């Protein structure tokens, strides 16, 4: 006996195209430059031995450690499974399906829109300004009707640029009492002076998303943080799952926030920023490179001549990049995560070899 289960699937999910994560796309290689992970691994050892009890829903010691690091109050933090869970929880908590909307400013991280589609929330797509990648304040202001959340990535993924702090402050002013401005600071450790964390006190409609996946080199433990006013955190605690953060995750995350580990993190960031400068200078010498966009993160966006040939040839040689050609105003562009010294040298060498063909 067979049955067609697809007729039981929600209509909006039937139409949904899932997010294509780096691991879902696949590829066989030894130089992974497509997921903005840290190329430098950090060894940790678990300091706990027993796992028969459920963990705390919100581990207090971890919250206090991150609050000290971020410069906020304990009451202003929610610990989540990566920053991704924060994106989802905000939609769950504040958006009425079929009634409310979010604003999404491509080219940017696709999960803002995908989470809205899953929840049956309208998406108002307002692209950033071409070439500068700054937010279109005038267009956003004229489209705020029914908008509860405005998602902005800063530094922006995949373009790598910083959003003007003046524009962000103006946006917070015009949306006060109407909408939340959610700034995803997943890459902020690579440009810490551009964080909006000091404005949490001034703007009750500001929400920040953070993660240990990038600069902290802990993508594998899936640990993130939502920073907001206490009232917002209290609401999110209503909709988060009972035990979102495993005991092991809490243990490793706590270790990563200790003084010595924070010093090591800052040194890794410095090294990767230097690798980025070196890689950009080398790519400028390659005849296939048309344009390299300024970046303040651990990746660069590059426009190539014959980008398909570049992407495929490197893929076949085990150098995996991220194709951005399908995104708004990113024709012929590839995103390149900043790798280790050896990985950057390997990439440049193979690109030189291709230019000889």
Encoded tokens for 250: 């809490």
Per CATH, which fold does 5-40+261-355 belong to?
Answer: 3.90.1150
Token pair belonging to 117: 């589609």
Q: Is it the case that residue 64 has pLDDT exceeding 90?
A: yes
Q: Does the pLDDT of residue 2 top 70, yes or no?
A: no
Residues 265-270: what's their mean pLDDT?
A: 98
pLDDT digit string (tens) for 214-252?
A: 999 999 999 999 999 999 999 999 999 999 999 999 999
Beta strands in 199-353 (DSSP E): 206-211, 224-227, 289-292, 299-304, 319-320, 322-323, 333-337
**Cα–Cα distance, 315 to 32 (Å, whole number):** 10
What's the confidence (pLDDT) of residue 27?
65
Q: Say whether pLDDT at 6 is over 90.
A: no
Residue pointed to by tokens 């998602």: 151
Taking all residues of the chain, what is their mean pLDDT, rounded to a whole number? 95
| pLDDT grade for 24, boundaries at 50, 70 and 90 | low
Please give the CATH number for the structural domain made up of 60-258. Answer: 3.40.640.10
Q: What band does 21 get if pLDDT is binned at 50, 70 and 90?
A: low
What pLDDT is attached to residue 22? 61
Per-residue model confidence (pLDDT) at position 354: 86
Mean pLDDT in residue range 144-157:
98
What pLDDT does residue 23 have?
A: 60
- Domain(s) labelled CATH 3.40.640.10 in the chain stretch across 60-258
CA 309 to each of CA 18, 221, 312: distance values in angstroms, whole numbers, following the listed order:
26, 35, 5
- Quick one: angle between helices 341-355 and 307-316, nearest 10? 120
Q: What percent of the chain has pLDDT over 70?
A: 96
Residue with tokens 């796309």: 25
- 209 neighbors 180 (Cβ within 8 angstroms): no
Give residue-wise pLDDT tens across range 271-324.
999 999 999 999 999 999 999 999 999 999 999 999 999 999 999 999 999 999
Task: Please determine, for residue 1, whether its predicted confidence score (pLDDT) is greater than 80.
Answer: no
pLDDT, tens digit, 9 for 90 and up, residues 106-134:
999 999 999 999 999 999 999 999 879 99
In this predicted structure, what is the pLDDT of residue 26?
Answer: 62
pLDDT digits (tens, 9 = 90+) for 322-345: 999 999 899 999 999 999 999 999
Domain with CATH 3.90.1150.10 in the chain: 5-40+261-355
Q: Are 69 and 257 in contact (CB under 8 A)?
A: yes
pTM of the model: 0.95
């Amino acid at each position: 006996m067979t049955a067609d289960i697809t007729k039981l699937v929600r209509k909006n999910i039937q139409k949904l195209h899932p997010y294509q994560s780096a691991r879902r796309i696949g590829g066989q290689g030894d130089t992974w430059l497509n997921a903005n992970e840290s190329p430098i691994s950090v060894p940790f050892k678990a300091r706990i031995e027993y796992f028969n009890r459920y963990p705390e829903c919100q581990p207090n010691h971890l919250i206090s450690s991150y609050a000290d690091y971020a410069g906020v109050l304990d009451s202003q933090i929610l610990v989540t499974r990566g920053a991704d869970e924060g994106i989802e929880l905000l939609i769950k908590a504040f958006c009425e399906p079929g009634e409310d909307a979010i604003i999404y400013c491509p080219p940017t991280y696709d999960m803002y829109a995908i989470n809205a589609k899953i929840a049956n929330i309208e998406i108002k797509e307002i692209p950033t300004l071409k070439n500068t990648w700054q937010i279109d304040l005038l267009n956003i202001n004229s489209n705020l009707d029914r908008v509860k959340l405005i998602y902005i990535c800063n530094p922006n993924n995949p373009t790598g640029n910083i959003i003007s702090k003046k524009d962000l402050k103006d946006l917070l002013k015009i949306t006060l009492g109407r909408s939340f401005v959610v700034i995803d600071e997943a890459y902020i450790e690579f440009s810490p002076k551009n964080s909006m964390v000091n404005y949490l006190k001034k703007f009750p409609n500001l929400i920040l998303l953070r993660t240990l996946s990038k600069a902290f080199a802990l993508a594998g433990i899936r640990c993130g943080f939502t920073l907001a006013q206490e009232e917002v955190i209290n609401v999110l605690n209503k909709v988060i799952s009972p035990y979102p953060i495993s005991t092991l995750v809490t243990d490793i995350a706590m270790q990563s926030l200790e003084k010595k580990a924070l010093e090591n993190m800052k040194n890794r960031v410095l090294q990767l920023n230097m690798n980025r400068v070196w890689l950009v200078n080398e790519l400028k010498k390659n005849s296939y490179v048309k344009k390299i966009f300024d970046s303040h993160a651990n990746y660069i966006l590059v426009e190539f001549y014959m980008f398909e040939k570049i992407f495929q040839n490197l893929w076949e040689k085990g150098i995996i990049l991220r194709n951005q050609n399908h995104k708004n105003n990113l024709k012929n562009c590839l995103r390149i995560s900043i790798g280790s010294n050896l990985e950057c040298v390997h990439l440049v060498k193979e690109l030189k070899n291709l230019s000889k063909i």
